[in-house]
Chain A
């Protein structure tokens, strides 16, 4: 297995600098891996003998568990390090953590960190493959990849679709990764949210900006509804959650007024009754649980490719070959 031969490069830090071809390679590689999770014995020896550290400086259940399943189903040896509680996660700790990991000769690190750029910081300092599981407000590439896969599963394509990301764009790494991924694959992208939560210059990335949800719903084929972090209210970005739901909430009443059916995604965890109403989240057009299922397959694909696995041999790998 040769790290430099990976079709993705050494690391997956974000989608901004990947090509459309690389994105498609990941999505296509995820397809055969979906089936492994449906088997009675959910394990293939693709990453046997590889050690992977899941280094989580921020609390996370969903993403960490999804990565862990992906790793275990590929037969990697995994270690979880949680340094939650923000006091221990700052600056020098990250350097020292990187050096310690390097000294233990691990093969891959999956990192979640509260500071934008933390994954890249680590990637530049250790020879192991680094996968970004979310860095500050910067990127969350595997989340966007699973969103892309879920959209493609439903429409059979991504090109030409109108996708609007709704909510707190300012603080969202999911939004940034989605914007890059969707645009590269030919979708039209919009963002919608309170103007206090729309970052400056966002339209220069090539997205349309809607300040009201009604406009977004009238336009979109897909809504990707972001979680509203409750602390945004305390920080003064919004008057109240109630008002947020009234003005920007994705409700069945609003969706009924749309002329077409709109696919609903949400990266979770949801605040029901705030950014999304329960009857929408649980309704026929919601693919929120499909996203979770696809998350494992996409992460298996990323780990496989970074380990040097050839995309065209993913089908064989699933039958028992090693990467």
Chain B
């Protein structure tokens, strides 16, 4: 039995209770027991002095690649879960594009067992939409949900067959899970390694135009509208895509959508110099797209902030741009980027940040957490809003270092990450114990 724990005297920000006040949070038996001023701690409780800190419902990243099974040289479920905890995340959703693909209940069970052994952030498996992510035949969706999958996606291998996507959106309704899609028409984007535009023309690199993403966003919205299904659009990067989602929401389509820190903060200019740490999919786009993604995050069109944490070994990124793999790590920089550059930068307030990084992700994927109401699961993030720090990839818990934010100055640093009432990151946690 875990000791009860009191987070004492922090600024507690919980939009689900419209709460923003200096109060205490008591967690006992794995759940939030009470929130209030001057709480009396049960005997033997662990006291965490959070004066000057911000206390929020545990942050949740619904889009991470943990590479296990199959590419353990990049990341494992354990290192990924520890990186998540170090970044202030209490839960992550692991994408199924591993080797083998997580497309059956055995694969789901494997992820859950590895995650339990890690004793860090929670890891929720996401299953494949189609067998082997081949886009041909529906995977064992019901069995995977039974085993613990929280959503389905063919992320990394977009579903090109619109008929299959329609069936997934219909079939998944029996299990009350979202169908997450990486919207990309591979016919339009074929061979592309960055955004198509002036920079790609100058560098002589093949481009993925906005239209390759927009076509699939619109397709998915139409199919969700037609089927009444629940679509979750991953890492939206285009101005048109944001507007299409905004309009679909106004029509009542059941859609949630992600923004990533890199699409909020960078443009395709970052690729100049052939920096392979600026190579990801969807690519960094034009300033007007970045601004539209920001506005989408602000007004809630993009409800969820997700990192698309995509670790790659340094050897793989140390290559000509065409040859390097897509993706960057994100778990350990997200909070400092969002708080330091978007909250302090004036785009969103702290409550909106908590909405996008905790409450909405929990709702979109039907996960426990996202709230500190008594009775909620005891997942809490405590960070120091005054801490300025410089990104040094050598210090990452992740096995990989591939970030375009190396050397950036961030503000806001996780102090304690608490999962089910247990400190999994920070002093008094397992790392120091």
Contacts and interface: CB of A to CB of B under 8 A. Distances in A.
Interface of A: 16, 90-92, 94-95, 113-118, 120-121, 135-139, 173, 176, 199-202, 204-205
Contacts of A205: 198, 201-202
B315 interface: yes
Contacts of A114: 322
Contacts of B320: 90-91, 94, 113, 115-118, 121, 136
Nearest to B323: A91
22 contacts: A91-B318, A91-B320, A92-B315, A114-B322, A116-B204, A116-B205, A116-B274, A116-B322, A117-B204, A117-B205, A117-B274, A121-B319, A136-B320, A137-B206, A138-B203, A138-B204, A173-B204, A199-B201, A200-B197, A201-B197, A201-B200, A201-B201
B319 A95 contact: yes
Contacts of A95: 315, 318-319
A70 B202 CA distance: 29
Nearest to A169: B201
Contacts of A115: 320-323
A100 B200 CA distance: 31
B319 A200 contact: no
Nearest to B191: A235
Contacts of A202: 201
Pairs A-B, 9 closest by C-beta atoms? A91-B319, A138-B204, A115-B320, A117-B274, A137-B204, A201-B198, A91-B323, A116-B204, A199-B201
B209 interface: yes
Given A116-B274, A200-B196, 12 more contacts: A90-B319, A91-B316, A91-B318, A91-B323, A94-B319, A95-B319, A115-B321, A117-B203, A136-B205, A138-B203, A200-B201, A201-B200
A121 B274 CA distance: 8
A173 B206 CA distance: 13
B318 A137 contact: no
A73 B204 CA distance: 33
Contact of A136 (B196, B198, B204): B204
A51 B297 CA distance: 57
Contacts, number: 81
B378 interface: no
A114 B321 CA distance: 11
Given A91-B316, A200-B197, A137 B323 contact: no
Nearest to A180: B202
Contacts of A121: 274, 319-320
Contacts of A138: 203-205
A288 to B, nearest CB: 24
Of A90, A114, A139, A200, chain B has the most CB atoms within 10 Å of the CB of A200
A176 B204 contact: yes
B88 interface: no
A224 B383 CA distance: 61
Interface string B177-199: 00000000000000000001111
Given A200-B196, A201-B197, A176 B202 contact: yes
B172 interface: no
B281 to A, nearest CB: 17
Interface in B230-275: 273-274
B10 interface: no
Contacts of B207: 199-200
Given A91-B323, A115-B320, A118-B320, A135 B204 contact: yes
Contacts of B112: none
A28 to B, nearest CB: 27
Of B200, B323, B324, chain A has the most CB atoms within 10 Å of the CB of B323
A114 B316 CA distance: 18
A117 B275 CA distance: 10
Contacts of A176: 202, 204
A96 B196 CA distance: 30
Contact of B204 (A91, A139, A201): A139
B274 A200 contact: no
Interface string B297-327: 0000000000000000001101111111000
Nearest to A135: B204
A94 B322 CA distance: 12
A176 to B, nearest CB: 6
Given A91-B316, A116-B205, A116-B274, A200 B322 contact: no
B208 to A, nearest CB: 11
A76 to B, nearest CB: 27
Nearest to B317: A91
Contact of A91 (B197, B209, B324): B324
A121 B321 CA distance: 9
B56 to A, nearest CB: 41
A173 B209 CA distance: 21
Nearest to A172: B204
A15 to B, nearest CB: 12
Given A92-B315, A121-B274, A116 B201 contact: no
A182 B152 CA distance: 53
A180 B205 CA distance: 17
Contacts of A118: 320
Contacts of A200: 196-198, 200-201, 207, 209
B240 to A, nearest CB: 16
Nearest to B201: A199
Nearest to A115: B320
Contacts of A120: 273-274
A274 B316 CA distance: 40
Contacts of A201: 197-201
